[in-house]
A and B are shown apart, each in its own frame.
Chain A
Amino acid sequence: MNNSEHISQELWERFERYLDHSMDESERLEFESQLSSNPDLRAQLDEAEQLISGIETAVLQSKLNEFHEDITPVRPITPPEKRKNRTWMWSVAAVLVATIGLFWIFDTGSETEKLFAKHFTPDPGLPTTMGENPNYNFYDGMVNYKQGDYKSALQKWEELDEHSIGLDTLNYFKGVAYLAEGNTEKSIGFLQSLWDSEENSFQSETAYYLGMAYLKNRNIEDAIKYLTFSKTAEAEIILLEIKD
């Protein structure tokens, strides 16, 4: 800031009134006319605006730290380099499958359907962004998705260039939308390839919906396997109900 000229209290308060739009029409017009003919006055107004904005931003920044303290930490996520080592998870899943499988008296058809229907809720979706967004078509489909119109969402998403939003995001929501629509085969296709890929921002969620897709498909063994991987609270509840 290089404008260190004196600003009188009266002028400062005029700046404030102008900046917070509290001048009446005649005062504003007169002030704007002065501004247009007096570059020094304009420079001082700019300085006042920057000062006030700086004060507000400094206060907000300190408040953000306070807001942050109240946030519950997100569940820990496996870093990408460790994701490949899933051996132990497969072992846990295998033991579970064996234990549960031995005592399995599930009347597969109706029971798995009931369990699926009881617990399945589609991912709430991503916040939809402004119209000018370069990923407009994706978010346009997301609006349909959030309204429960999976068919329209999928139509829009199927036409998308895979790189427009990120392959993992696209495949994840396609997988969930197909599942919500009842097309488990297609759902598994997208979710399984996503699970097998390295680039996946929705690791835990993918496993969860993959497990749900297998559950709906009456494939209990894979359902248990992926629900175990997902480690979400919801998956644990379903696993307990399967055991029961």
Chain B
Amino acid sequence: MGDTNQIATQERLVTAVKNNDEKVLKQLYQESFSKIEVYILKNNGTSPQAKDIYQEAFIAVWQNVKKDKFTPSNESALQGYLYQVARNKWTDYLRSSHFKKTSSMDTDFQLQDSSEENFEGEDRNMSDTMAAFRLLGDECRQLLSQFYFEKRSLREIASMFKIGEASARNKKYRCINKLRELVTAP
């Protein structure tokens, strides 16, 4: 019975993560970091490396949850999954040629900018979109962020921006087109 409840708790957690519930994401992020940081520090890593690897892992886990690639099977499944993904990423990094090169040169380690480096192959488009999003004007970034990440309705957004709902809808469409232009720009 206890297990059933705990899995139900995990399912609620997974749903909240899918909905980008900021409070839940923050709690998950903060409660799981120290264990991974300790692991990386004990395995030839530094705090900034731990942060980069952890954030990379966190985003990968969040994406997999959204794509239904993860189903909780026990009371701390999501946290365990996050820990495992981060450990694997660190192992991959230690085995990478980049690590061997920087180690042999005895220079300070620097992870590649995670926003650029973490998305390869089909995820290249994702990386382009993320870069383009950062180039958008403040208003478009705010509006798209409220609609797509915070999952706010057009009515809420209209009230937030002090405009009519129809204007908010049109503005969102214009911002999307602007983003598409930036992504496809050579």
Chain A residues in the interface with B (C-beta under 8 A): 1-2, 4, 7, 9, 12, 47, 50-61, 63-65, 67-68, 70-71, 73-74, 77, 80, 126-131, 133, 139, 143, 200-203
B180 and A4 contacting across the interface, CB-CB below 8 Å:
yes
Given contacts A61-B130, A68-B51, contact A74 B176 (CB under 8 A): no
Asked if B99 is at the interface (CB within 8 A of a chain A CB), the reply is: no
Residues of chain A within 8 A (CB-CB) of B148 are 52, 55-56, 59
Residues of chain A within 8 A (CB-CB) of B41 are 74, 77
| Cα-based distance from A122 to B79 in the complex (angstroms) | 20
Given contacts A58-B134, A129-B81, contact A77 B33 (CB under 8 A): no
A67 and B26 contacting across the interface, CB-CB below 8 Å:
yes
CB distance from B92 to the nearest CB of A (A): 15
Q: How many residues of B contact A (CB 8 A)?
A: 62
A54 and B80 contacting across the interface, CB-CB below 8 Å:
no
Residues of chain A within 8 A (CB-CB) of B29 are 64, 67-68
| Cα-based distance from A173 to B120 in the complex (angstroms) | 37
Residues of chain A within 8 A (CB-CB) of B73 are 130-131
Which of B42, B58, B144 lies in contact with A64, CB distance below 8 A? B58
B83 and A51 contacting across the interface, CB-CB below 8 Å:
no
Interface string of B24-63 (1 = CB under 8 A from A): 0110011011110111011110010001000100110011
Given contacts A1-B128, A143-B74, contact A57 B47 (CB under 8 A): no
A58 and B129 contacting across the interface, CB-CB below 8 Å:
yes
Residues of chain B within 8 A (CB-CB) of A57 are 59, 63, 126, 129-130
B25 and A67 contacting across the interface, CB-CB below 8 Å:
yes
CB distance from A127 to the nearest CB of B (A): 4
Given contacts A12-B173, A64-B55, A74-B37, contact A126 B179 (CB under 8 A): no
